[in-house]
Amino acid sequence: MGGRDTDIVLLDENGIRCDGRKVNETRKVTIKAGVLKNANGSAYIEFGDNKILVGVYGPRDVHPKHMSDTDTGILRCRYHMAPFSVGERKNPAPSRREVEISKVIKEALEPAVMLKEFPRTAVDVYMEVLQADGGTRCAALTGASVALADAGIPMRDLVAGCAAGKAADAVILDVNNEEDQAGQADLPIGYMPNLKKITLLQLDGVLTPEEYKQCIEIGIDGCNQVYEIQKKALQDKFFASGEKQ
């Protein structure tokens, strides 16, 4: 699998990628916690050109009632792309892809969130992609775990997301849209940095066992970098200054 033909030079002779990054460099990530008033917890994340808003509600009553579980709380996630998030208008109805991403993000967050503490309730996570540029699932996952912490939902650890991949025969960190389209492989990783556990792992493309190992390694490294930014976002919101007016 060689990816699609493209005019873009994915990696030049100096090892610089199409957006000016080195192979092991992530895009610029900024996160702000607590941006929405009406949600219990929220976060806004910019992951390169990805812009995602996350709102968290709960724990709260489960509706419809039959979904509730007497042993544990449930986690429900909705990943949605705004019609204006991509070049061509995106139909706002949930697509196959969005249903899949909602599911994998839910499963990536579940090991972290301590749902057993709230039986018969639901925690709802709404992720709204305002602008997409490749790697939205990792960005949404990263934002969602900050929003959950902001809502005060007990978690074993934060979950940080970052993708690794392969483009122009080189292993790269944090795959952007061009590299995803024209590259050879994309491997999104969700990772709990303190527990050192992977909660999300997908692979689109073909990697040799050696490349796969390398991808995991730099992917985890990327997650650790993202985690530092998540940490800072929460610290900025809650511990910013003792003398706030």
Partner 1 sequence: MSGERKRHVIPGEVITSGSYRAEQNTIQVGDNIVSTIVGLSDVHDGSVRVIPLTGGYMPKDDDLVIGKISSHSSLSWTADINSCYVGMLPASDVFGRDYSSSSDDMNAKLAKGDLIAARIVNADMTRDPLITISGRELGKIDSGELVKISPNKVPRLIGKRGSMIQMIESSTNSQVTIGQNGLLVVSSEDPNGLLKAIQAIELIEEQAHVANLTDQVNEMLESKSE
**Of 9, 152, 206, 228, which one interacts with partner 1 (CB under 8 A)?**
152
Reduced to 3 states (helix: H, G, I; strand: E, B; else coil), residue 224 is helix
Question: Residue 140's closest CA among 184, 90, 180, 100?
Answer: 100
Q: Is 190 in the site for partner 1 (CB under 8 A)?
A: no
Q: Is 154 in the site for partner 1 (CB under 8 A)?
A: yes
Site for partner 1 in 84-143 (CB under 8 A): 112, 114, 117-121
**Of 60, 89, 97, 213, which one interacts with partner 1 (CB under 8 A)?**
60
Piece in contact with partner 1 (CB under 8 A), picked from 44-52, 161-169, 207-215, 230-238: 230-238
How far is C-alpha 190 from the geometric centre of its chain's CA atoms? 7
Using the 8-state DSSP alphabet, how is residue 91 labeled? P
CB of 153 to partner 1, least distance (A): 7
Buried b (16+ CB within 10 A) or exposed e, 107-136: ebbebbbebeebeebbbbbbbbbebbbbbb
Distance CA 184, CA 170 (A): 9
**Of 125, 158, 162, 200, which one interacts with partner 1 (CB under 8 A)?**
158
Q: Is 242 in the site for partner 1 (CB under 8 A)?
A: yes
Distance CA 107, CA 105 (A): 5
Q: Is 157 in the site for partner 1 (CB under 8 A)?
A: yes
What residues line the site for partner 1 (CB under 8 A)?
Answer: 40-41, 58-61, 70, 112, 114, 117-121, 149-158, 192-195, 231, 234-235, 238-239, 242-244
